[in-house]
Amino acid sequence: MAKSPTSFRYDYAQSPPVDQVGIAERAARFTTRSIKTSTKREGLDMVLNMIDLTTLEGADTPRKVQQLCYKAGHLHDSIPGLPTTAAVCVYPPFVKVARKALGSNSPIKIASVATGFPSGHLTLEGKLEETQRAVADGADEVDMVISRGRFLSGDYEYVFDEIAAVKEACGKARLKVILETGELATLDNVRRASDIAMHAGADFIKTSTGKISSAATIPVTLVMLLAIRDYHFKSGNMVGMKPAGGISKSKLALHYLVMVKETLGSEWLSNEWFRFGASSLANDVLMQIAKIESGGDYQSPCYFSQD
Amino acid sequence: MDRLEILKTYKLYINGKFPRSESGRYYTPEGRGGKALGNICQSSRKDLRESVLAARGALGNWAPRAAFNRSQILYRMGEMLEGRRAQFEDELKQQGSTAAAARKEVETAIDLAVYYAGWCDKYQQVFSAVNPVSTAHFNFSVYEPVGVVAAIAPENSALAGLLGTLLPIIAGGNTCIVLASTGKPLSAITLAEVLATSDLPGGVVNILTGDRKELLPIFATHMDINSLVASDLTKTQIADIKQASVNNLKRIVIHKEDVSKLEDPYAILKTQEIKTTWHPIETSIAGGGKY
C-alpha cells in the first residue's frame, strides 16, 4: 500500500508529553488477559506469521543466512499447515544470499538493516549508499537506525532530514525506522522520535536494534502505538509497528497482540502492519503449538531446530 | 489467655527460591492424633513446568562441576542436616514416628548424605572401563549424567527415603525435581531449607508437594525430563507412566528396594548414560608398536 508523503514539516513542539504512570498502569493491564484454547492457537499462528526472523551477528556467514531462510519457510515441518515468518532480517552483505535462497517470488520478505547499524555513526552519503545497495541487491524492507546522538542533543531537523533522505533512497522498499528507545532515556523522547520518524516518511517504527540490554518493553511499545494512532487520526495514513529485542516468550508476544488490538484495532493485526523482531521467539511459539497439538504435553527445546 | 497457634505454610522449593504454588491451592494433612501438620502447597502442572525449566537451567552448572566439588557440597548437606537434627526429629514425630524411630531416621539420612558425598568423585574410576579393541584405538566407556531427572519419593519414609532417592541422582551430576510424600511433606520442605543454605546451586534440586495421582501423568509426558525415578507405585501406575513416557524415551527407574537404607553405588548408575569414545592412536601395543 503506497503512502502519500506528508507534505508538511513537523513541528517538534507538538509532540504531547507522556504520562509515565498512566502508561505503566495501562501496560500492566494488557498482561492480565486470559487467552486460551483455540484463540491461543490462532494467536500463536499469527505471531509466527509476524516474526522477522533475525540474525545480526558478527559471526554470520552465508550458510547461516541460507539456513535462516530455509527455517523461515519451514518452521517445523512435522506440524502441517504452519505459516511462514513474515521476513528474514540480515546485514546488508547477506541480502544477495538471502534473495538467492528465497527466490524472487517468495512470500517471505527480506529485511536488511542499514545506515551503519547498530550505532548509526556513518556519514550520510555512506548511509544512503548502503541503503541503495541493499535495495538493489533485493531487499524488500530496510531497517534504519536514527542518529541518537543528534536527537539527544536536540538536532531534530537533522534526524528528520536524514530519515527523509533514507526514505527516498529506499525507493519501493518499505522503511522501518529504529529509534533505539533504550538510548532515548525518557518516554517523552520516544514519543517525539516516533512523531519525527512518521512525519519524515517511515513505513514502520521499530523500538530497538536488539544490541543493547534495554530493548522492547510493553510501555515503550504502547507509547509508540499511541503515536501511530494519533498520526493516523491526523493524516489518515497507517504506519506499522515493530517491537524488537527481548521478546522471546509466546505469552509476552500474545500480550503485545492484545495491546495492538486494543490500541490500534484489528486493521493492524497482520504482518503488513505489525512485526516482531526476534530470533528465539519462533521456537518458543513452536513449542507452545506442539504442546497444544500433542494434547498438552510439555515440550523440550531439544526437538526443535536451533537455526 | 491462650495464644493462637500459627500453622506454618510450607512452600515449594524451585530454582533456589521458596514460591507458593502458582495455583494458590493448598492442603492440610493430618499428623499424629489428627493434628494438622501445616498448610502444604498443592503443586499444579505449571509448578512442575517451572521446576523443569529450573532444573534444565541448572544442569549446565552442576553436571560439568568438578566431581570433588559435588562431593564437598553433598558433605555440606550432611553437616547442615546434623545442625537441624532437633527440628527434623520433631517433625518426624509430628508425622507419626516414635521418638526412637525419628532419631534413627535422621541419623540414617545424615549417613546417606555422607555416603553419597564420598561416591561423587569415585564412581567414575570404579565403574568406567577401558575396553580391549582390535584396532589402533584407545576405547573407553565413561558415565555421564542423563540430565533432568524427576523423582517420586516414597510415601512413608519422609526424610531418609527422600534423601535415598535424591542423593544418587545429584551425586551423578543430574539435576532433579522431587515430588515429596503427600501425607508426610514436612521433612521435604525443611530439607529444602537445608539445601538452600548448603552451597547447592539453585535449581539442582527442586521440591514439589502435592497429589501424586494428579502429577504423575505430567511427569511422564514432559518431553524435557530425561528420566523418572519412583518408589511405591502400584502396578497400574507403573504401566501408565511407562506408556506415557515413550514419546521421549524417558528412562524409568522403579526402586523395588527400600531407598531409605539404600547405600549402594549402583544406585548412582541408574541415572547415568554410558559414553564410549574411540580415540585413535598411532599404533597399537598389540601390533607391536610403542608410544
B62 CB-near residues (< 8 Å, 6+ apart): B70, B170, B173, B174, B175, B201, B204
Q: Is B223 on the interface with A (CB under 8 A)?
A: yes
Do the beta carbons of residue A142 and residue A117 sit within 8 Å? no
First and final C-alpha spacing in chain A: 32
Percent of chain B beyond pLDDT 70?
Answer: 97
Percent of chain B beyond pLDDT 90?
Answer: 87
For A82-106, what is each residue's pLDDT tens digit? Answer: 999 999 999 999 999 999 999 999 9
Count CB pairs under 8 A between chains A and B. 26
For A223-275, what is each residue's pLDDT tens digit? Answer: 999 999 999 999 999 999 999 999 999 999 999 999 999 999 999 999 999 99
Q: Kindly state the cell numbers that stand for A24.
A: 505503566
A206 is catalytic: yes
Q: What is the mean pLDDT of residues A48-57?
A: 96
- Gap between the Cα atoms of A250 and A254, Å rounded: 6
For A24-42, what is each residue's pLDDT tens digit? Answer: 999 999 999 999 989 999 9
HSE, CB side, 13 Å, CA atoms: give it for residue B139.
8
Which residue is catalytic, options A143, A195, A203, A284?
A143
Return the amino acid letter for A179: L
Describe the strand order of the beta sheet including A87-90 as a list of residue ranges.
A240-242, A204-206, A174-178, A141-145, A109-114, A87-90, A51-54, A276-278
For A107-140, what is each residue's pLDDT tens digit? Answer: 999 999 999 999 999 999 999 999 999 999 999 9
A143 is catalytic: yes
The dihedral formed by the CA atoms of A118, A120, A121 and A122, expressed in degrees to the nearest 10: 110
- Gap between the Cα atoms of B6 and B63, Å rounded: 41
- Gap between the Cα atoms of A129 and A170, Å rounded: 10
Q: Using CB atoms, which residue from B48, B218, B248 is nearest to A300?
A: B248
pLDDT band for position B174 (cuts 50, 70, 90): very high
| Per-residue pLDDT at B272 | 97
B284 pLDDT above the threshold of 70:
no
B282 pLDDT above the threshold of 80:
no
Q: What is the mean pLDDT of residues A208-214?
A: 92
| Residue B15 CA: distances (Å) to CA of A252, B47, B62, B165, B207 | 21, 11, 13, 19, 9
Chain B residue whose CA is closest to A303:
B223
**Domains of chain B, each with CATH number or no CATH:** 9-280 (3.40.605.10)
Residue in B224, B225, B226, B243 to test binding to A, most A beta-carbons within 10 Å: B224
- Cβ of A297 within 8 Å of Cβ of B222? The answer is yes
Q: What is the mean pLDDT of residues B136-147?
A: 94
Q: Is A267 on the interface with B (CB under 8 A)?
A: no
For B239-256, what is each residue's pLDDT tens digit? Answer: 999 999 999 999 999 999
Which residues in chain A are contacts of B222 at CB distance < 8 A?
297-298, 300
A1 pLDDT above the threshold of 50:
no
Chain B residue whose CA is closest to A287:
B223
Chain A residue whose CA is closest to B217:
A297
Return the amino acid letter for B4: L
- Cβ of B49 within 8 Å of Cβ of A298? The answer is yes
| Per-residue pLDDT at B287 | 59
A307 pLDDT above the threshold of 90:
no
For B75-128, what is each residue's pLDDT tens digit? Answer: 999 999 999 999 999 999 999 999 999 999 999 999 999 999 999 999 999 999
Helix A281-293 with A37-49: angle, nearest 10 deg:
150
- Comparing CA positions, the residue from A109, A39, A49, A106 lying closest to residue A82 is A49
- What count of other Cβ atoms lies within 10 Å of the Cβ of residue A223? 26
- Comparing CA positions, the residue from B161, B156, B146, B121 lying closest to residue B55 is B146
- Gap between the Cα atoms of A205 and A193, Å rounded: 9
Q: Is B246 on the interface with A (CB under 8 A)?
A: no
Helix A187-199 with A156-170: angle, nearest 10 deg:
40
**Domains of chain A, each with CATH number or no CATH:** 16-303 (3.20.20.70)
Q: Is B60 on the interface with A (CB under 8 A)?
A: no
Residue in A300, A302, A303, A304 to test binding to B, most B beta-carbons within 10 Å: A300
Tell how strand B26-27 and strand B39-41 pair up. Answer: antiparallel
Q: Let me know how many helices (H) and strands (E) chain B has, helices first.
A: 10, 11
Phi, psi torsion values for A201, nearest 5 degrees: 115, 15
| Per-residue pLDDT at A286 | 97
Average pLDDT value over all residues in chain A = 94
More confident position, B16 or A9: B16
Residue in A250, A298, A303 to test binding to B, most B beta-carbons within 10 Å: A298
A242 is catalytic: yes
- What count of other Cβ atoms lies within 10 Å of the Cβ of residue A119? 15
Which residues in chain B are contacts of A303 at CB distance < 8 A?
223, 248
pLDDT band for position A147 (cuts 50, 70, 90): very high
| Per-residue pLDDT at B24 | 96
Do the beta carbons of residue B239 and residue B217 sit within 8 Å? no
| Per-residue pLDDT at B180 | 96
Helical spans, DSSP H, in A50-79? 62-73
| Per-residue pLDDT at A7 | 46
B291 pLDDT above the threshold of 60:
no
